[in-house]
Structure 1
Amino acid sequence: MANPNEITPHLFRTEYSKIVAVLCRSFDIKHIEIAEDIASETFLKASEYWAIHGIPDHPAAWLYTVAKNKTKDYFKHLSVIEKNKQEEIRTAEKEFQTIDFNTQNISDSQLEMIFTICNPLNSQETQVSLALQILCGFSIEEIANAFLSKTETIKKRLQRGRESLRTHHFTIDSLNEQDIHQRLETVLTTLYLLFNEGYFSRTNNFLIRKDLCLEAMRLTLILTENQLTNTPKTNALLALMCFQSSRLDARINDEGEAILFDEQDEMLWDKALIEKGNYYLVEACQNNDISISKYHLEAGIAYWHTSGSKEKWQPILTLYNQLVIIEYSPVTGLNRAFAFSKVYGNKKAIREAEKLNLITNEYYHGLLGHLYSKINTDKAIHHFGEAIRLTKSRSEKQTLQKQLNLLIP
């Protein structure tokens, strides 16, 4: 029998946002707190009931039924709602009968929800933060990690964003082309951050969180299935996710330690996902007049990583050279330096890496530890030590310590 303590967090990640989106579609995003309360109470009941009676055969359907019943109970207790809110809630109650958790309605609800939250009246940072919390179930800590920001900053940003949702009376309406053009970039950024947190998690001591990767891919796939959102950028992002996800099982060992790319067992790579990545990358490049985005470049890099070609590093470096021009980030700079080492050797790569001067970044020190390991053992030991000191991830500490131990006599 499955353990409820293990399955409930996974379902919370995948189903909580679906319940909130469908309920908000029925009675207005202004009442999002009500929808969130109903969803939370649904999972509370699940954790209590399943612990005693076991997990049902169809847990997601069980959750949807409970959510509908709790929504019905909510409307029965309108007397506790302030008088000036009763009329609009009664209007919403008329829509209650249309609440349906079928696959199409869930997809439509989540699509509309994410575009509603990504409203240009808020800053892009606020839009992404709201989407990560409401639609993707991120904690404040996870959002702070995604933005490399302080938790207090994110908390205030979310408070302002939620107030804006109420004040401006945003509604979840059918999408129109103007909304798409205004908001799609932020939507893609949100899904990109969601996938990245799963692919290389900085929280909860897990190096990889497949549930986040799968959720990001599912939501991006929804975008490719809608005529208005099926753009070259969307396809490029999905291609990137497919390529990266194809190597998930090869990236960690049984002890939870990271396996470096050169040491991965290619037999563990998912060939079907690589083929899908190829398909979506071709779709992303169909139009001759497309604007090459960072998603195209990153998907191209991921393609070469899964190609099996021994001559991959020069084209990978060329793509990184383009990427740092389009959108520089510390991670991009460090990855470029690693690719540079594969083409021009560690000595020249060290000079490239040290130009970045990211002395408070654990990946910077980890890279320099790797590059110095066959050139200057003392410097390699120093940088691996700094990386271990700076990282918050237990699995990363284990991997770095293993590399450090190889250098100590």
Structure 2
Amino acid sequence: MEHKVVDHLFRHHYGKMVAILTRFFGLSYLETIEDAVQDTFIKATSQWRTKIPDNPEAWLNRVAKNRTIDILRSIQAEKNRNLTITTGASSLQIDELFLDHEVADSQLRMIFVACHPSLHPNEQIAFALKTISGFSTKEIAAALLTKEDAIVKRLTRAKKSIRENNIQFKYPNPEAIQERMLRVMEVIYLTFNEGFHSTNQDKLIKEDLCGEAIRLCQLLLKKEQFRSGSLYALFALLCFHLSRLESKISIDNQIVNLQNQDRAKWYFPLIKMGNSAMNKAVEYDDTSVYHYEAAIASEHLNAKTFEDTNWENISNWYEQLYMFESNMFTLLNHATVCIQLSDYEKTLHLLNSIDVSDLGQRAYLYYGCYAELYIKKGEKELAISFLDKALLGTSNMLEKEFLTIKREGLIG
């Protein structure tokens, strides 16, 4: 039982504690800080075997603070300075940093560090998942479909860039916020997508990643200087997608496609939050891909049944989205909509416009779309051949099973 409590707290408090201590010590001591926080959770695992404290969070904060003081003493000893840490300004400052509003502020600073332009994009998301969300290198590797040693190298390079470029633990200058926010939102979006449609072999949905993306979005929205139509639209999009999470997997751990999902399982408080965020999003002058994607998600949620879906509206939204920002996945998603409209000529035109190599690890979805087209047209042999191609490119076991069942249905 204590392991479950520690695991839960580690996931939800590791990033907070690292951010607080980094704000106090500075980014140059990041690795030492991560070790100190790790030590705190190891100590919790050991000491909570007999009894979990009444307030586990307060215990963790206290132990982390004391460990911080130990580190500070050793750092000051290296510099041959004699400071009294346990009383006085330094101790009081650490106490103040553990207040809720300071915790949130520290985490926001860390988000902007993670998305600093000096870091390579693939280093940014790895660094964000590690320092902000507390993911292990193994978990990051699984989330990003990369080998663990590659993640270690990315994290090492990110920390080296932070040192060499003297990146500070602070918000960007006001004139740089808008540009930096574009990357921050992209990292949040990618984090959510990996959770909502995981490329992990064994698990299609990773709720931790989805929850972390929503939490980071909410943190940013609490600060007026970071608010924009794009950020509100991104938050709306995440709420809309998350509201359908429970209906995506059946009780016997099978994928349930949109047509067969139990809409009674859709979580309407989240849909309401999403609608409220979209109302805010249109009050701002800026427009983003998140506006269009949220509009598309909203169309699905407004339909009482799959048959009631307004596919014409969704098709129009995809047309506008592609004009706003050309993307192979937009073409692929639009093709699936055209299948529902029985516009097979347009479906083929869209599919022929796609460079499948641009789809990366998701290329199997392209072949799956072709299979759907030929199923709808009643051309079983062609459908089976494309399902075979999709199966070859699928790493997730649930999706393999889903495609295999579909293939067997055609043969049977």
TM interval, short-chain normalised: 0.7 to 0.9
SS of equivalent to 1:387: helix
User: Which residue of the partner structure matches residue 374 of structure 2?
Assistant: 372
Q: 1:254 aligns with which of 222, 227, 251?
A: 251
Q: 1:402 aligns with which of 392, 401, 405?
A: 405
Shift of 1:87: 5.5
Q: Which is further off, 319-328 or 239-248? A: 319-328
TM-score by length of 2: 0.86
> Letter of the aligned partner of 2:27 in structure 1?
I
**2:138 & 2:324 partners in 1: Cα distance?**
28
**2:9 & 2:209 partners in 1: Cα distance?**
11
Q: Which is further off, 4-13 or 295-304? A: 4-13
Please list the CA deviations of residues 339-390 of structure 1 after superposition, one character each: whole Å capped at 9, or x if unmatched: 1212234565245324425277121222222222242222222222332232
User: Which residue of the partner structure matches residue 134 of structure 2?
Assistant: 137
Do 1:27 and 1:89's aligned partners in 2 also have CA atoms closer than 8 Å? no
**Does residue 36 in structure 1 map to residue 34 in structure 2?**
yes
**Does residue 391 in structure 1 map to residue 390 in structure 2?**
no
**1:7 & 1:167 partners in 2: Cα distance?**
38
**2:105 & 2:174 partners in 1: Cα distance?**
16
Do 2:196 and 2:205's aligned partners in 1 also have CA atoms closer than 8 Å? yes
Q: 1:22 aligns with which of 13, 16, 20?
A: 20
Shift of 1:35: 1.3
Distance 1:384 1:60, change over 3 A: farther
Shift of 1:24: 0.4
Distance 1:325 1:115, change over 3 A: same
Shift of 1:276: 0.9
**What percentage of residue pairs aligned between the two structures are identical?**
33
Trace 1:313-328 onto structure 2 (pairs within 5 A). Answer: 313-328=311-326
Q: 1:170 aligns with which of 167, 171, 185?
A: 167
Shift of 1:69: 2.6
Q: Which is further off, 106-115 or 210-219? A: 210-219
**1:382 & 1:373 partners in 2: Cα distance?**
11
User: Which residue of the partner structure matches residue 180 of structure 1?
Assistant: 177
Distance 1:71 1:312, change over 3 A: same
**1:326 & 1:143 partners in 2: Cα distance?**
31
**What is the RMSD of the two structures over their aligned residues, measured on CA atoms?**
3.0
Trace 1:4-15 onto structure 2 (pairs within 5 A). Answer: 4-15=2-13
Q: 1:298 aligns with which of 293, 296, 300?
A: 293
Q: Which is further off, 233-242 or 190-199? A: 190-199
Trace 1:265-284 onto structure 2 (pairs within 5 A). Answer: 265-284=262-281
**1:97 & 1:353 partners in 2: Cα distance?**
62
Do 2:232 and 2:278's aligned partners in 1 also have CA atoms closer than 8 Å? yes
Please list the CA deviations of residues 145-194 of structure 1 after superposition, one character each: whole Å capped at 9, or x if unmatched: 77777766655443222112112332223664234234111111111111
Trace 1:325-336 onto structure 2 (pairs within 5 A). Answer: 325-336=323-334
Distance 1:54 1:179, change over 3 A: farther
**1:182 & 1:248 partners in 2: Cα distance?**
31
**Does residue 263 in structure 1 map to residue 265 in structure 2?**
no
Shift of 1:320: 1.5
Do 2:144 and 2:199's aligned partners in 1 also have CA atoms closer than 8 Å? no
> Letter of the aligned partner of 1:379 in structure 2?
L
**2:83 & 2:155 partners in 1: Cα distance?**
25
Distance 1:171 1:261, change over 3 A: same
SS of equivalent to 2:253: coil
Distance 1:89 1:320, change over 3 A: farther
In structure 1, runs of 5+ residues without a counterpart are: none
Shift of 1:338: 0.7
